[in-house]
Structure 1
Amino acid sequence: MNSRRPRRPRAPWTLRRRLVLAVVGLLALVSVSIGLVSVAILRASLLDGLDQQLSAAADRSRAVLEGHRDLDDGAPALFLPTAEMILNGPAQPPGTLALVFDGTSISSGYTTVSGDIAALSTHQKEILARQMQPSRAVSIDLGGTVGDYRIMADVNRDGVLYLVGLPLAEVNGTAAQLAIIVGVVSLAGIVVVAVLALWIVRLALRPLQRVTETAARVAELPLDRGEVSLIDRVPAADTDQRTEVGRVGSALNRMLDHVDVALETRQASERKVRQFVADASHELRTPLASIRGYSELTRRTGQDLPPDTLHSLGRIESESIRMTGLVEDLLLLARLDEGRDLERGPVDLTSLLVDVVSDAHAAGPERVLGLDLPDEPVHVVGDAARLHQVFANLLANARIHTPPETTTEVALSVLGDRAVVTVTDDGPGIPENLQATLFERFARGDSSRFRGTGSTGLGLAIARAVVTAHHGDLTVDSHPGRTCFRVSLPLG
């Protein structure tokens, strides 16, 4: 079993970082290329100069060997050419290396800085012996304290092979010094360019940042409800069509104009609907009261009426009562939608919940109700009647939609600067597909039009609207075996 944790996806690079790194990377690439080319050209130039010196040293060496041969011309058997002849020759610079092979023996050595002649090791002789064929100048590493040399092999008129070399230390040192200088200067230039690029890119992206801030402010607006006015726009300076950011800003402004018009149209339509609902609800109150009054009066006249007539009058009266409640709920929602202020005053949630639970117990004596209150009273500022209606609706919802053996618990607590009331039951829970629309108007647990429960589908919508008007929150958490409605209100 693999216990390794999954790797988190790497965060994408911002446009600012990509631009700065691209500029710095290109500058570094150009600097490295210039440095390598400069060092290569300098080294080639120095090697050309060293090869000229080496060629002159080889000519002098030939002249020295042939001069000694002429001096010993009377006794040819005694002439033995050696490397010391070359090294002790005129105008040989310090560090000159020589190796002479006369066909039977090899002599070699090199001059030190002090002018003394030092011997070469056997390994170094073997390395040089492999280069004894006359050819152009080549570079070779002899290792140890001798180091790199530029050597050239040749043969004199007597067939004596000799090899002359000059040290590459000065050439290598000069090239290395140039490489260090180019590297330091390039590094300093990259740092300066990185700082300047960061500043320039940040300055260049400010218009894009302002466009982003405008879009973020609009995104935070509650565009799905209420009257919203989109006054935020991208500044005119950031809408120049000749620039890329300007085209983005201009497109965003045009989109906001279209959204603003659509919102105004929606708001006008909603205002008409709310006004219609308010007017219709207000006008329906009087005829509904008349229907209820006449049906009740007819039923109580004491006259002998057929049973079916009495049943019909009872149904008319009960339906008029239900319709009156529906009209009152619609009128309340219309007023809340219009933003009418609720009554504002100190409300003791502790005593209010005691009354609500008592009323719920009277409405359902068979129900098991619990109440958990803090030791000290909890006060908020609001409309006591409407808050009473909120908690009554929540308890009525639990009573109507759960079996009789269900236990309902009401609890009050204080969390920070908020008063929190929870209504929890151990019923079957709310279906998951209904929870998303639970607080919408006329939301029901099924699609039937059955009215046996007396529910209008507006109780929870009214509860959330009242809580929202009190600057609070109403949420629900439900699964089989537990449903919890949570009301959070600011403390008074």
Structure 2
Amino acid sequence: MRQRARRLRPRSVRTRLVLISTVLATLAVLVSQAAGLAVMRSWLTGQIDHRLTDFRPPPPAAYAPAHGRRPDAPEPREDALPSDYRVFFYTSDGRLRPDSLGSGSGRPRLPSTVSALTLESGRPTTVPAADGGSRWRVIADTGPDGRRVVVALPLDTVEGATSKLLWFSLAIGAVVAAGVGLLGSAAVRLGLRPLARMERTALRITGGESALTVADTDPRTETGRLGIAFNTMLGQVRAALHRKDASEQRLRRFMADAGHELRTPLTSIQGFAELLVEQPRLPAARRREAHELIARNAERMSRLVDDLFLLAKLGYAPVAHRETVDLLSLAADGVGAAVVAHPGREVRLAPLGRGGGDGAEPALDVVEALGDAHQLSQVIGNLLANACRHTPPGARVEVRVGTVRTGPDTGGTDRPGRGSATAALPAGVPACVVEVADDGPGLAADAAQQVFERFYRGPAAGPDGAEPGSGLGLSIASTIAEAHDGRLEVDTRPGYGSTFRLLLPRSVGAGPGDLP
């Protein structure tokens, strides 16, 4: 039975709304009609009670024949009682007389003896009819001679009126139910039209039209708010799909680039190894050269694998070790290492100047930030190595350390001619800065946007025979900066050199030169 009832239960929201509205409207009509019927019946009964209580029996001569008259007495008048009143008498010995005063047919069911009469004097009561017809409203009284008298009025008028009103109420309820069912169905269909449009839009979206949105977005209506939420959800889903597609594209490109980068040294190692195996009698100089090339390519592969592992580690794990790091000391160590690795190259350490009211602070003796000293040192080393490798031998390289408040002129935010792989920092916040600037040829705008991508190689302008890098140095440096909640960016344009800028949150005091 439960399963059958569940199958019969309407599943459509439209059908449920129509059924609910029809039932509620019909119940409201029936309840109101029932209340009106009860009020009308009570009012009509009250009118009869008022007539009964106001009734005064006729003079004894009018109802004496009902007691027994003398033979010479006149015949009783049939109009001795007004309207449809009926008067019944009990004899002196307490029995109900079979005759009565009044016209009309039928009579109430009264007890045959006065001792069985339970009517209270002066209080109207409803009793059934003796012949099973309409009921009667009766009141008991005492006649002038002390005998009990019962005055009665029929309730056929009241019952007829209430019966007609009852059938009228039922007819009105049926008409209202039919009307509400028809009109309610049309009204509900009209009201649910935005939901129907939303349903069709969702079906089209699932069919492949992913650029569609819901048009009904009025925040004052429920469907409009639902449309806003639906469009917001669609936007988030599209953004997630775009991020997923972009991530997959980057992963495919990364795998292809990594495979290409590893294929070159592997091919060289394989070629020289086959040469040594197939020609065991090679001259000693050729054999030594082959061994050196194999070792060099193996070392290159090892560095490449280490860089890839570091990128993967930085991408999936936060900075494990944070301590107070003196950026000025790290920059000085990086400059010293660059001078040793690139003899004859002019590399110097300089203060970070104001630059014409750009908001920068003078260089401090100590510029401290929280982070991993080894990783930050690697960033500075990568920037210096990149500047020395991709600029002419006579180009100067300058490392500047200081503190600024982020902005278009001081760094940390986006502007034309500035490239970065990470999001901009909030404007106006204090930051520690390490800049590596050169007066080389600079970069074009498209190259400035690609320079932080993995396996991107710019044109080498260093000494001939310099070993090309893996194209991962700037990508690793940018990832390290992002892991430190900072940003690595480049300001450049052709013919004006390049400035790579590392910005880190300034969360550690640095003495008397703190920014306000």
TM-score, normalization by structure 2: 0.44
TM-score, normalization by structure 1: 0.46
Larger Rg: 2
Counting helix residues as a fraction of each chain, which structure ranks higher? 1
